[in-house]
């Protein structure tokens, strides 16, 4: 499976996870937690797909975004309940001090003993309730888009850390190979010195080159260790977990046309989607505010008993029955509070429109910039690979010419250094292109 397919599959699974509002299972729960003093068991070879899956479970930013999405979904369900009839059961017992009359002391009561056991179906019909539900739906859309932004950002971060470790391992191998080449060249210069074919200065230069290559190897090992820790922090509960990564950096396929990338970004960009949802939320909040000055209708249907005896029938009279209550609430005056709320809601709409326009402009600018970066990185790969081949051949020829007495020691040393630089540049170029693709996919979702 290609690295691009891995990223696309992970983005799809992250979106599905955001739709399901489920929390991912933490990786390695059986491992010893950090700080216990016991090193965790080795994790084996980790692929990019493995790293993305484990990072999803251990990323606080992504988990927080998914939790916010779940909370927004719950709020939407609560807002929807305001549009639907609600059923409740009312149970009351009213005791009134007797005074010789049927109602007792309190004339508002129906008797000295009153029993109420009724089911109440209540429905409120108003503009504020409908707008409140649509506003909650828009908030959920914003939360989903934010979760998608977090998921894509995590992909970029993991790809960056993963490829940094792969490149660090390659550079360590390159430094090790350079050390071996320097050791062989030192042997050649010593042999030629003993045969009277080279000066002692050549041996000194070769030994200096060997010492430099050994220092480079130490630095490469340090860089690899740091890169390993950076990735481990993202994917493991305990960063001390021993593991290896699969080196799957290969020459990738050609970059899709810009028109295709632009169309995907227009359809699947979460930042613009979040801004559009925020604008819808602001629009609905205006209607929520206006609902405070628009009449609303409340309906109640009661079924049960409201009698002096707790029984469905008493003395041949049926106590069980129903009643309907309709209430029209007409707001008249609240000292300008509603008008102030409406004005504040209009300000939020204005700000949401400004932010949407900014996100659209930012998308276009980033799309051109990220695509140009990926295009340039892809175009340089062939040249970098050619440089590696030429540098390797140059070192081989320089060594042969030196053994034949036709080249100076400085030519061989320069060829060795050039080969190391060419290999490292090619490895960096591959990682640069993969990172550019990951960056571009934060806008498009897939390529």
The answer as to whether 300 is a domain residue is no
Question: 418-445 burial string, b = 16+ CB within 10 Å, else e?
Answer: bbbebbbbbbbbbbbbbbbbbbbbbbbb
- % of the chain beyond a pLDDT of 90: 75
pLDDT at 308 over 90: no
The per-residue DSSP string of 73-128 comes to HHHHHHHHHTTS-EEEEEEEEEE----SSTT-S-TTSSSSEEEEEEEEEEEEE-HH
Q: For residue 115, report the phi and psi dihedrals to the nearest 5 degrees.
A: -115, 130
Let me know if 330 is exposed, middle or buried by CB neighbors in 10 A (0-12, 13-18, 19+).
exposed
| pLDDT at residue 18, rounded to an integer | 45
| pLDDT at residue 105, rounded to an integer | 86
Structural domain span for residue 387: 3-84+126-294+331-444
Name the average pLDDT for the chain.
88
| pLDDT at residue 198, rounded to an integer | 87
* Distance, CA of 82 to CA of 76 (rounded, Å): 10
pLDDT tens digits for 336-356? 999 999 999 999 999 999 999
* Distance, CA of 174 to CA of 246 (rounded, Å): 17
* Region 322-332 average pLDDT: 93
Tokens of residue 200, six digits: 């002692």
pLDDT tens digits for 9-62? 555 444 444 443 333 322 222 222 334 445 565 668 999 999 999 999 999 999
Question: 306-322 burial string, b = 16+ CB within 10 Å, else e?
Answer: bbbeeeeeeeeeebeee
Q: Is residue 316 very low, low, confident or very high in pLDDT (cuts 50, 70, 90)?
A: confident
The answer as to whether 95 is a domain residue is no
Cα pseudo-dihedral 415, 416, 421, 423, rounded to 10: 110
pLDDT at 332 over 70: yes
pLDDT tens digits for 96-138? 988 888 888 887 888 888 899 999 999 999 999 999 999 999 9
* Distance, CA of 213 to CA of 206 (rounded, Å): 11
pLDDT tens digits for 177-213? 999 999 999 999 999 999 888 899 999 999 999 999 9
| pLDDT at residue 108, rounded to an integer | 80
pLDDT tens digits for 381-432? 999 999 999 999 999 999 999 999 898 999 999 999 999 999 999 999 999 9
Number of domains in the chain: 1
| pLDDT at residue 76, rounded to an integer | 96
* Region 66-93 average pLDDT: 94
* Distance, CA of 447 to CA of 186 (rounded, Å): 50
Angle between helices 3-20 and 60-81 (to 10 degrees): 40
The answer as to whether 309 is a domain residue is no
- Tell the residue number behind the tokens 């729960």, with chain if given: 29
Tokens of residue 130, six digits: 């409908």
The answer as to whether 106 is a domain residue is no
The answer as to whether 307 is a domain residue is no
Least confident of 12-26, 244-258, 283-297: 12-26
- Tell the residue number behind the tokens 């996100």, with chain if given: 359
The three-state DSSP-derived secondary structure of 194-263 is HCCCCCHHHHHHHHHHHHHHHHHHHHHHHHHHHHHHHHHHHHCCCCCCCEEECCCCCCCCCCCCHHHHHH
| pLDDT at residue 5, rounded to an integer | 59
* Region 313-328 average pLDDT: 90
The answer as to whether 90 is a domain residue is no
* Distance, CA of 243 to CA of 245 (rounded, Å): 7
Do residues 118 and 304 touch, judged by C-beta distance below 8 A?
yes
Tokens of residue 29, six digits: 């729960």
| Torsion-angle region of 292 (φ positive above 0: left; ψ -120 to 50: alpha; else: beta) | alpha
Angle between helices 48-58 and 3-20 (to 10 degrees): 30
| pLDDT at residue 4, rounded to an integer | 61
Question: What's the order of all strands across the beta sheet hosting 321-329?
Answer: 86-95, 113-125, 296-307, 321-329
| pLDDT at residue 29, rounded to an integer | 29
Residue 333, SS3 per DSSP: coil
| pLDDT at residue 249, rounded to an integer | 84
* Distance, CA of 328 to CA of 432 (rounded, Å): 66
The answer as to whether 98 is a domain residue is no
What residues does 95 pair with on adjacent strands?
113
The answer as to whether 42 is a domain residue is yes
| pLDDT at residue 212, rounded to an integer | 95
Instruction: Give me the CATH number covering residue 234.
Output: 1.20.1600.10
The per-residue DSSP string of 262-319 comes to HHHHHHH-HHHHHHHHHHHHHHHHHHHHHGGGS-EEEEEEEEEEEESSSSSEETTEE-
């Amino acid at each position: 499976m290609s690295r691009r397919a891995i990223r696309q599959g992970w983005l799809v699974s992250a979106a599905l996870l955001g739709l399901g509002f489920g929390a991912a299972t933490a990786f390695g729960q059986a491992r010893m937690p950090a700080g216990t003093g016991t090193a965790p068991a080795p994790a084996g070879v980790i692929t990019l797909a493995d790293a993305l899956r484990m990072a999803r479970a251990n990323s606080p930013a992504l988990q927080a975004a998914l939790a916010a999405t779940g909370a927004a979904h719950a709020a939407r369900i609560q807002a929807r309940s305001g549009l639907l009839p609600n059923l409740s059961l009312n149970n009351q017992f009213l005791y009134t001090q007797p005074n010789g009359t049927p109602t007792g002391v309190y004339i508002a009561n129906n008797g000295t003993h009153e029993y109420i056991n009724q089911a109440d179906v209540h429905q409120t019909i108003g503009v504020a309730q409908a707008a409140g539900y649509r506003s909650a739906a828009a908030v959920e859309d914003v939360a989903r888009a934010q979760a998608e932004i977090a998921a894509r950002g995590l992909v970029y971060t993991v790809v960056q850390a993963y490829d940094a470790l792969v490149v660090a391992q390659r550079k360590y191998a390159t430094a090790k190979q350079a050390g071996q080449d320097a050791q062989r060249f030192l042997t050649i210069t010593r042999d030629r010195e003993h045969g009277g074919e080279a000066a002692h200065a050549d041996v000194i230069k070769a030994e200096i080159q060997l010492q430099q290559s050994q220092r480079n190897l130490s630095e490469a090992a340090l860089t690899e260790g740091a890169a390993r820790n950076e990735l481990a922090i993202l994917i493991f509960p305990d960063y001390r977990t021993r593991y290896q990564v699969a080196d799957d950096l290969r020459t990738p396929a050609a970059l899709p046309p810009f028109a295709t990338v632009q169309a995907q970004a227009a359809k699947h960009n979460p930042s613009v989607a979040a801004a559009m949802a925020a604008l819808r939320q602001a629009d609905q909040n205006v209607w929520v505010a206006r609902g405070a000055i628009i009449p609303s209708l409340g309906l109640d249907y009661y079924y049960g008993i409201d009698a002096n005896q707790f029984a469905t029938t008493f003395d041949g009279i049926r106590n069980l029955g129903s009643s309907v209550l309709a209430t029209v609430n007409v707001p008249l005056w609240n000292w300008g509070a509603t008008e102030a709320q409406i004005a504040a809601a209009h300000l939020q709409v204005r700000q949401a429109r400004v932010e949407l326009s900014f996100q659209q402009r930012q998308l276009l600018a980033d799309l051109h910039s990220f695509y140009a970066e990926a295009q340039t990185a892809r175009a340089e790969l062939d040249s970098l690979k050619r440089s590696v081949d030429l540098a390797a051949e140059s070192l081989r020829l320089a060594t042969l010419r030196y053994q034949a007495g036709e080249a100076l020691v400085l030519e061989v040393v320069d060829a060795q250094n050039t080969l190391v630089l060419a290999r490292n540049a090619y490895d960096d170029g591959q990682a640069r292109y993969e990172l550019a693709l990951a960056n571009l996919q934060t806008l498009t979702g897939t390529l």
